[in-house]
Amino acid sequence: MILESAVINIKPGQETAFEAAMRTARPFIAASHGFIDMKLQRCIETPNRYVLLVKWRTLEDHKVGFRQSDRYQEWRKLLHHFYDPAPVVEHYDSPIPL
Amino acid sequence: MILESAVINIKPGQETAFEAAMRTARPFIAASHGFIDMKLQRCIETPNRYVLLVKWRTLEDHKVGFRQSDRYQEWRKLLHHFYDPAPVVEHYDSPIPL
C-alpha cells in the first residue's frame, strides 16, 4: 500500500466551493482499481490550504490506472481551477514499523 | 482530532540511522496526553524525505503538552541532527466528510 500526499493551496475565499467540488469529484477517483481510501483535511495555520491523503494499493494504480483515465479528466475539470499554485503530489511507502 | 504533518528531509545516507532513532524516540511522544497514533512513511520520489503523520486529540496536546515537555527535549536530541533543513510542521483539522 502506498500513500499519495498532495498539499493543495486554493484561491482564498473558495473553500466552501472547493469542498463541495471534492464531494462531486470523489466518485471519479474512488472508482479506480486499487483505490483504498481518501481523506481531505484543512490546514489550521493556513485556512486556504488542504492536505489530500489517498491510499492506493500500488503506485501504478494512481499514476497509470487513475491519471491516464477519462475519470481523471473529469476530476481535473472539477478541481484544477481552484488550485493556486498547482499542488505538488508525492508518494510515500507503507508506514515504517516503529 | 487533529493531524500533525511534517515533511522531514534528512541528510542523504542517514536513512537507516534516522529510522532507528525514530524507533527510540517514539515512546517520548507516545507517552503524551492526547497522543493517538503516529506514522512515518518514506517518500518514493525523494528517498531522503519522510512524512511524519501524528494524530492528536487537540492542537494543545501537541503544541503545549508535548512541545513544552521534557520528553520533547529528548525527542529533539535523538532526531534534530538528522534534519536538513528543519521540517515545517503543520496541523490539519479532522477529515472533511466527502
| pLDDT at res. B86 | 95
Of chain A, the percentage scoring pLDDT greater than 90 comes to 100
**3-state class percentages of chain B: helix first, strand second, coil last, to nearest 5:** 40, 35, 30
Number of domains in chain B: 1
Contact A50 B92 (CB under 8 A): yes
> Within a domain: residue A65?
yes
Cβ-based contacts under 8 A for chains A and B: 77
Q: Widest CA span of chain A, in angstroms?
A: 40
Average pLDDT estimate for A6-27? 98
| pLDDT at res. B18 | 98
CA distance B51 to chain A (A): 8
H-type alpha helices, A1-98: 15-30, 59-60, 70-79
| pLDDT at res. A76 | 97
> Within a domain: residue A43?
yes
Q: Which residue has the cell 536513512?
A: B15
Q: Give the N- to C-terminal CA distance of chain A in Å, as an integer.
A: 17
3-state helix/strand/coil string of B40-81: EEEECCCCCEEEEEEEECCHHHHHHHHCCCHHHHHHHHHHHH
Q: 3-state DSSP call for residue B31?
A: coil
pLDDT in tens, B74-83: 999 999 999 9
Cα distances (Å, whole numbers) of residue B66 to A32, B9, B80 = 39, 22, 16
pLDDT in tens, B15-59: 999 999 999 999 999 999 999 999 999 999 999 999 999 999 999
Beta-bridge partner residues of A9: A49
Give the list of residues 6+ apart from residue A65 with CB closer than 8 angstroms, or none.
A32, A33, A34
- Give the model's confidence band at B92: pLDDT under 50 very low, under 70 low, under 90 confident, else very high: very high
| pLDDT at res. A3 | 98
> Within a domain: residue A98?
no
Average pLDDT estimate for A27-50? 98
| pLDDT at res. B1 | 96
Which chain A residue is nearest to residue B22, measuring alpha carbons? Answer: A98
Mutation target to probe the A interface, by most A beta carbons within 10 A, among B19, B35, B41 is B41
> Within a domain: residue B97?
no
Contact A19 B44 (CB under 8 A): no
For residue B11, what is the enclosing H or E element? none
| pLDDT at res. B58 | 98
* Residues of B with Cβ-Cβ distance to A5 under 8 angstroms: 51
Give ipTM to 2 decimals.
0.95
Structural domain boundaries enclosing A75: 2-92
> Within a domain: residue B98?
no
Q: What is the CATH number of the domain that holds B10?
A: 3.30.70.100
> Within a domain: residue B71?
yes
Of chain A, the percentage scoring pLDDT greater than 70 comes to 100
Average pLDDT estimate for B9-14? 98
